Amino acid sequence: MAERYLPLSLTVFRVDRPTPVDVWSDQGLLLLAHGHRVASPEQLRRLVAHRPMVKQSDYLVLQAQGLAGALLRPGVSVTAGALTAPPARAAARARGDWAEPALAWPRLHTRLAACWHDPLPKAPAPPFAERLLELAGHLADLADEHPDDSLFMLLQMLADPTLGYSATHAWLVALICHLTAAEAGVSAAERQSLCAAALTMNVGMSRLHDALARQKSALSPVQRAEILAHPQAGAQCLAEWGVADSLWLQLVREHHESPDGQGYPGGLTRLGTAQRLLHLADLYVARISPRANRSGLSPLTAVRNLYLEHPDDHLLPELLARHLGLYPPGSYVRLRSGETAVVVRRGRRANEPVVLAIVNAQGWPIAVPATRDTRQPAHAVHASVLAEEVRVRLDPVKILQRT
């Protein structure tokens, strides 16, 4: 029987610490022998890039000895020699419309905004924290079952000026955190708090957040003061609404802190992985978001800037690039053929997404969007295209049905 490989948790790896098992790539190449040490941060980044795995037979031996611990990536378990899917997937399928991204994400957008604006409804409505965590559970189901479709929907919604910006921003940041947290080394115990913080980090200024997306004039002094105060104000609101999770509240207070000490409100420099991931995801989404007074950056430019701005910590920007792609689903690209295409799937390589051509080289809409293979030179991605430059309106349901 062919040997099987299981994905290792990245918490296994630390610089100058011996590895507890032989570490393999997903192609069956030995990356690091048992007992050898990761010599440097650069070696650690290269190791992570190869998707480190453990042989199933080695894992089962350690498991029998009670030494397996938290070797495997969260959500992966082994029973009777077979991988079992996380129970969230079965739960998602059982919820009908909630399992269909094109239907679920607009509903979740509305429910999140309602949760913020009516945090203390009368009984028998559940408490705020319970309602918020239920929404976070839907996100986890959709992200695990339909990651590309979820990215597609939220990037498309981000470009829709008729939707409340703050809720779309929150959902996309939370999705990015969910997709990358395990590989970033955020513990399973911290991940729910991280997702909840992403969904609520701007409750201290949610209405202003929506207004600023439509505002063409410069910030007023009052608006600037509200922005600077919103991390503390948001955490205070959440505490008053019954949130008792200390990490959730801490991440909301600190989501604008930066390792260089230039963040606010405290100018902190010693920050945990969950906070740094939340901060980078927040920056990324803010920068790709179009506003009334400026265009958004392309996802490629946004992730490249994060990489350049964090010369001492490339791991998290690299994770964003790998998990989202340089051209994530829902964004637009121009092909070497001259056609404009919408990205519908991440490819095997970050620069080779799966796309549907929607505008021909002469600038005319294509009646039936056509699949193009970006691995072929004639259809390779030539450049990003900003959403506001695309004049064709897409029906997300039909687009996702074609993929």
Q: What pLDDT sits at residue 26? A: 63
Q: Three-state secondary structure along the chain?
A: CCCCEEEECHHHCCECCECCCCEECCCCCEEECCCCEECCHHHHHHHHHCCCEEEHHHHHHHHHCCCCCCCECCCCEEECCEEECCHHHHHHHHCHHHHCHHHHHHHHHHHHHHHHHCCCCCCCCCCHHHHHHHHHHHHHHHHHHCHHHHHHHHHHHHCCCCCCHHHHHHHHHHHHHHHHHHHHCCCHHHHHHHHHHHHHCCHHHHHHHHHHHHCCCCCCHHHHHHHHHHHHHHHHHHHHCCCCCHHHHHHHHHCCCCCCCCCCCCCCCCCCHHHHHHHHHHHHHHHHCCECCECCCCHHHHHHHHHHHCCCCCHHHHHHHHHHCCCCCCCEEEECCCCEEEEEECCCCCCCCEEEEEECCCCCEEEEEEEEECCCHHHCEEEEECHHHCCCCCCHHHHHHHC
pLDDT at 334 over 60: yes
339 and 320 fall within a common domain = no
184 and 115 fall within a common domain = yes
Q: What pLDDT sits at residue 72? A: 78
The number of domains in the chain is 3
pLDDT at 332 over 70: yes
264 and 205 fall within a common domain = yes
Q: What pLDDT sits at residue 90? A: 41
Boundary residue ending a domain (55, 84, 113): 84
Q: What pLDDT sits at residue 1? A: 42
356 and 219 fall within a common domain = no
> Per mean pLDDT, which range of 100-104, 300-304, 343-347, 362-366 is the poorest?
100-104
The enclosing domain of 131 has a CATH number of 1.10.3210.10
Q: What pLDDT sits at residue 98? A: 67
308 and 372 fall within a common domain = no
pLDDT tens across 354-393, in order?
A: 999 999 999 999 988 999 999 999 999 999 999 999 988 8
Boundary residue ending a domain (27, 59, 84): 84
What is the domain range of residue 43? 5-84
93 and 80 fall within a common domain = no
180 and 58 fall within a common domain = no
pLDDT at 51 over 80: no
Highest mean pLDDT among 74-83, 329-338, 342-351: 329-338
Boundary residue ending a domain (33, 64, 84): 84
pLDDT at 109 over 80: yes
98 and 230 fall within a common domain = yes
